[in-house]
Amino acid sequence: MSGQALVKKSAKPHWVPLCFIAAIHILAIGAIFNFTWSALFLCVALHWVTGGLGITLCYHRLLTHRSFQASKFVEYILTFFATLACQGGPISWVAAHRLHHANSDEELDPHSPVHGFFWAHMGWCMSRNKTIDDYNEYKQYAPDLAKDPVHRFLNSYHMLSTLLLAIALYAWGGLPFLTWGIFARTVFVYHSTWFVNSAAHVWGYQTFKTGERSKNLWWVALMTYGEGWHNNHHAFQTSARHGLKWWEIDTTYWMIKVLEFFRLAKAVKVPTERAIANTYS
């Protein structure tokens, strides 16, 4: 099957996420008319909590790649933060990302720009794909999480956390906190995450020959707390550190080291200097 054939097969709309993503973007426009400095600060803080601690540190480096270890209590708290990003439950997110690594920039990659930039950026998550839509299909890519009853619960009811947060923010700060803390912030986190799938497989530089199109892209790294050093990540997938050169800022790795200092993280994995030297392109 050609790559183009795969796109056509997968292009049937998945109406629930499509309508949800469209609605979030439309509602985010309301933030323009409800601006306050406190609401903006709230948006920035929640971007870090949900996109940084949640998606980047937890869903990606902890749950998907097990680049460090944490107690179940810490893991569940971080997973709760990740559900607030509205990117799916832990089992579905991890399964899709592991499938990406297993088939990077090939036909079975769920979000490769070889099928078009828009597809890689957001088209894939608004289209039908039984492999990552059907629990009985995608759980095979995350069997470690599927065995955990807490992760199964959070996977099934991941939207409940955002609903509760939306109610709390509206009660606390009215429309400014609701529009900036939920709608605008979710849109910002969405596109930050999606640029790793799209832009970081199109532009930037390759330090390592990894056999696919992953790139290191500085501005994506700034948006995603270090995820934009994507070629480094593909070269050393289990590494907790993505920024391998001194100037490749990786604030998520810094946060993991903070957790390690307070004994909330352990067994932090990083590649040795010899491994890095042997992998240079």
pLDDT digits (tens, 9 = 90+) for 87-115: 999 999 999 999 999 999 998 899 999 98
Q: With 80 as the cut, is the pLDDT of residue 20 above it?
A: yes
Other C-beta atoms within 10 Å of 206: how many? 17
Residues 130-140 pLDDT 10s: 999 999 999 99
Q: Partners of 13 in the beta sheet?
A: 127
Inform me whether the pLDDT recorded for 6 exceeds 50.
no
Query: For residue 140, what are the domain limits?
Result: 3-279
Pick from 216, 229, 193, 249: which is nearest to 51 by CA? Answer: 193
Tell me the percentage of the chain whose pLDDT exceeds 70.
Answer: 96
Alpha carbon distance 214, 257 (integer Å): 26
Per-residue pLDDT of 46-97, as tens digits, reads: 999 999 999 999 999 999 999 999 999 999 999 999 999 999 999 999 999 9
* Residue 234 one-letter amino acid: H
Considering its fold, how many domains does the chain have in total?
Answer: 1
Place of tokens 């940084």: 52
Q: How far apart are CA 221 and CA 214, in angstroms?
A: 13
The confidence score (pLDDT) of residue 155 equals 98
Contact 63, 94 (CB under 8 A): yes
Q: Looking at residues 14-28, what average pLDDT do you find?
A: 97
In this model, does residue 9 exceed pLDDT 60? no
Q: What is the pLDDT of residues 186-210, one digit of tens each?
A: 999 999 999 999 999 999 999 999 9
pTM summary value: 0.94
- Rounded mean pLDDT, 228-257: 97
Q: How confident is the model at residue 279 (pLDDT cuts 50, 70, 90)?
A: confident
